Amino acid sequence: MAKSPWISDLHWVRVGSQARSQRTQAALLDAAEVLFFDKGVEATSVADVAARAGSSVGAVYHHFRDKKALVYAFFDRLAAEFHATTLDAVDPARWEGASIADVLKGYLEFSLEIGRARPGVHRAGLEVSLRDPTVRENLSEVRAELDRGLAALVLARRSEIGHHDPAMACAFVLDQLGCMVRNRLEGDPGASPFETRSDEDFVREALASVGAYLQLRSPREAKAKEQTQ
């Protein structure tokens, strides 16, 4: 799916590692990421991670006290990358001149792109979050950070919203779109008759739905309305 011009240079930000020990640790976390997404966190052993990384079990325990420490380090890195990516994605300067429809379209397109490139992120997070409140709280916060940034972008253009309560409507729309994207990426196969349609179709229809709910005006219409008030 072709990117909107607003996100043409937007990408997932990886946390860099320079020192040799940090590179080794990063390689182990890279291996854990693949296995957690493919097999699940519970089904992945320390030996699996070592083998995937081309390393030894001893090397894993040199960097991580136990599997729990490895899991925590993995989700800490994921949260750091999500944070860095979010800062870039919701930077107001990136969206200068964009409408609400542009912002939401970019959000949907980038979320689908990242979800396709990193399958299993939500599933692995959910698996661990169900039994570990620390991971659950950290992942909830990074998702909330994205929602706050998106809400700020949308509400900075509140004159485009015809709904009587823009803040409430914005919160509803972001929750709705987030659920729709997660369901599209991680939902049960066959659960939705729309899953056979393209991502372009999904984005178009999702935007039509939330646009009608928000009662969106074009930026020109919004400016004209402001001038008459």
Per-residue pLDDT reduced to its tens digit, 71-118: 999 999 888 999 999 999 999 999 999 999 999 999 999 999 998 888
User: Would you state the pLDDT for residue 125?
Assistant: 86
User: Helix, strand, or coil here: 46?
Assistant: helix
Q: What are the structural domains, with CATH classification, of the chain?
A: 90-228 (1.10.357)
User: Would you state the pLDDT for residue 24?
Assistant: 86
User: Helix, strand, or coil here: 215?
Assistant: coil
Using 70 as the pLDDT threshold, list the residues of the chain that sit under it: 1-3, 15-21, 189-190, 222, 224-229
Model confidence, pTM: 0.85
Closest CA to 82 of 90, 93, 94, 92: 90
**Residue with structure tokens 């542009």?**
102
User: Would you state the pLDDT for residue 17?
Assistant: 54
> Residue 71's Cα: distance from chain center in Å?
19
